[in-house]
Amino acid sequence: MFWKDAGAAAETYRSEIMKNLEEVLLEDAYIVASCRSDFTDDKSDNPPHRTARTKYEGIVDAGHFLCTHEYPDKKKPQPIVFTIGPDGFGFGDERRKGQGPAALAAAVSTARGATKPPATQVGFGAVK
């Protein structure tokens, strides 16, 4: 995704690579990185560095970028297991409830509130 051509002063972002990847991703796709989970942009770091991770997270659904060294959490990493069966592709997400994408969706729904305005007027401070 970032490449330094011979004779070039710096790496450049190759947007066509990400565009091609995004075009072939299936619905509910996951990107799995087999590396340590403390991403930085230090030149000595192995890919994906933080910038690349951010790009990957931008093309898959929330929670669908997985790192083998932080799944289901950094303290007790476990194998990531995908299955293929009669029902198709499956992933038994072992992340604890409250930390996965479902919890985020529930929090967003709660924050948005009801679809109707409140039945009673709500005010703040003293009434004059």
pLDDT value of position 101: 65
Q: b or e along 19-33 (b: 16 or more beta carbons within 10 Å of the residue's beta carbon)?
A: eebeeeeeeeebbeb
Other C-beta atoms lying within 10 Å of the C-beta of residue 63: 17
Pairing type for strands 12-13 and 2-3 reads: antiparallel
> What is the residue extent of each domain of the chain?
29-96
pLDDT value of position 42: 76
- CA 42 to centroid of chain Cα atoms: 21
| Residues 6+ positions from 16 with CB-CB distance below 8 Å | none
CA–CA dist 59, 53 (Å, integer): 10
pLDDT tens for the 128 residues of the chain, in order = 888 899 999 888 899 999 999 999 988 899 999 877 777 777 766 667 888 888 999 999 988 999 888 898 888 889 999 999 898 888 888 875 555 566 667 667 777 777 776 666 666 665 55
**Residue 100 and residue 66 in contact, taking contact as beta carbons nearer than 8 Å:** no
What is the model's pTM? 0.65
pLDDT value of position 46: 64
pLDDT value of position 124: 66
pLDDT value of position 112: 75
**Residue 101 and residue 61 in contact, taking contact as beta carbons nearer than 8 Å:** yes
pLDDT value of position 23: 94
